[in-house]
Amino acid sequence: MTGPILLLICIVLVGLSYSLFQNGVRRASTDRVLERLAKGQPTTVPTRAAWVGLERMFQRAGLGKPSERLGLWLVGWALGALLGLLAAEWPGLLLMIVLPPLAARGYIAWRYQHRVARMIGQLPSLLDYTVRSLKSGRTLADAVLGGIEASDEPLKQAMGRIQRNVQLGVSLPESVHDFAQFYERDEFRLFALGLKVNHRYGGNASELLENLIKMIREKEQGARQLKAMTGETRMTAYVLAGLPVCMVGYFMVANPNYLMTLWNDETGRYMLFGALAMELTGSFVMWRMLRSI
């Protein structure tokens, strides 16, 4: 039974590669230019809220649009489910259907948090450049756009959204507000609010930005102090989450028959899958508890 299934998998992969090749050949240069111009722009009326939310998650994590490799991901998911069925029958199929989306969701969330933390860490340098440009006589819009150009990745790539909107005729405060709403962080919202207030009522923009720099740095210092104070709690959670995995690895090296006896038995397989489910659930609960500190 394995031979025909593997042959079917090979045929599906060959068909997918041929389809992707034909799609790449037929793609005209005009479509590529239009896609680059529209990349990162605010979406208009969404037709499917779930798909728009998925696309938003991918773009905030810096992974581009999910539609670019959707066919490949779906085929990989289907193949994983098929291999799970061959390896462990219906429990393996259920595990391979549920586990990849959860792992992908966790990876995207982790990548987004890591990326936005780097962006916030780079924001004071951008604001400092903007303040120095303002004091040298440049306008606020030119100072902010110049600061974006002088920034490092990933802040420069993310704030390219602001540059594109300004080039299309959108005002700077509205562009920064759109950027802040897209990434949903208080530091970006305060930046957008300050520009909006300065644009509407006037005032000393350099002093406002200097206060924002001070606030971001004090918040970062407080976060580091909290991380140092909760180090023991976090280490305990890591040990509790990693201990079952280390024990399974030890048994697989020292006495593999101890676990293979369970794996070869149908009831034992259900027990192992139940243990895995409880391990994942406990790790998720501890992760949520750590995030709430």
pLDDT tens for 109-118 read 888 888 988 8
Query: Which pLDDT does position 66 carry in this prediction?
Result: 67
DSSP-H helix ranges across 202-265:
205-229, 231-254, 256-264
Does residue 288 or residue 30 have the better pLDDT? 288
For the chain, the farthest-separated pair of C-alpha atoms sits apart, in whole angstroms, at 77
Both ends of the chain: CA-CA distance in Å? 52
DSSP-H helix ranges across 27-154:
29-38, 49-60, 70-135, 140-150
Q: Who contacts 135 (Cβ-Cβ below 8 Å, separation ≥6)?
A: 206
pLDDT tens for 80-95 read 777 777 776 777 777 7
What six digits make up the tokens of 269? Answer: 């397989």
Distance (Å, whole) CA 138 – CA 134: 5
Q: Who contacts 100 (Cβ-Cβ below 8 Å, separation ≥6)?
A: 77, 80
Count CB neighbours of 16 within 10 A: 15
What value, to the nearest 5°, has the Cα angle with vertex 139 and ends 137 and 145?
Answer: 120
Q: Does residue 6 carry a pLDDT above 80?
A: no
What six digits make up the tokens of 190? Answer: 């305060």
- Which among 49, 89, 217, 205 is positioned nearest to 142, based on CA atoms? 205
Distance (Å, whole) CA 103 – CA 76: 14
pTM to 2 decimals? 0.61
Tell me the mean pLDDT in the region 139-153.
87
Domain ranges of the chain: 39-228, 230-291
Q: In degrees rounded to 5, what are phi and psi of residue 190?
A: -65, -40
Q: Which residue has the tokens 């450049």?
A: 129
pLDDT tens for 218-241 read 888 887 887 787 777 778 878 888
Handedness of CA 182, 192, 40, 151 (dihedral sign): negative
